Amino acid sequence: MSSWVRRAEPGDPAGTFGIGTVYRLPEHAEGQLPAGDGTALPAILSTLDRTPSYLATVVCLEVSAAADLRSVEASAGVRAHWFSRDDDLRPDIFVLEAMCRASLPSGRSAAQAAGESRLAATLRRHLGNDRAVPKRDISFFSY
């Protein structure tokens, strides 16, 4: 990208992605599993805004401080689990543990694993290997 920026002239075309435009729930999904850290918060909240009321959803979000916790207006099928690290310096440990223990929706689920690269990769491996979510149904976003 930096080489394009150096060559760009006023009026050259450019594009952007809006929040939440990359993750698309597969039509066959009977449930969804968004999980991530504070870097993924805008994308996951956007996903929840578009979640149909009939879709069972388990979401796990970890933020760095209790001040970042917020209430989420979501459809009836959404179970949101928020975790705050506060003084714990081990990032991502709470959301990973929560996803490992979570009761997943029955049927075929799609997942949105997002956050700092280590978290997103670990979530993707856990969901694919330990929870048998097909890899094609896991959207993986590393920030």
Q: What is the pLDDT of residues 10-20, one digit of tens each?
A: 888 776 555 54
Residue 2 is inside which H or E element, if any? helix 2-7
Neighbours of 132 (CB within 10 A): 10
What is the pLDDT at residue 140?
86
What is the pLDDT at residue 15?
66
Q: Where are the domains of the chain?
A: 28-142
SS3 (DSSP) at 69: coil
Mean pLDDT, range 123-128, rounded to an integer: 92
What is the pLDDT at residue 17?
54
Q: Is residue 34 scored above 60 in pLDDT?
A: yes
Which band of pLDDT confidence, cut at 50, 70 and 90, is reported for residue 1?
low
CATH class for domain 28-142?
A: alpha beta
Q: What is the pTM of this model?
A: 0.78
Residue 54 to residue 72: CA distance in whole angstroms? 17
Could you tell me the CA-to-CA distances from 115 to 11, 44, 57, 140 in Å, in that order? 33, 10, 18, 9
Mean pLDDT, range 86-114, rounded to an integer: 85
Q: Which of 32-41, 90-99, 111-120 has the lowest mean pLDDT?
A: 90-99
Q: Is residue 52 scored above 90 in pLDDT?
A: no
What percentage of residues in the chain have a pLDDT greater than 70? 92
Q: Is residue 60 scored above 80 in pLDDT?
A: yes
Q: What is the arrangement of strands in the sheet containing 138-142, beginning at the earlier edge strand? A: 78-84, 56-63, 31-37, 109-115, 138-142
- Tell me phi and psi for residue 90, to 5 degrees: -90, 95
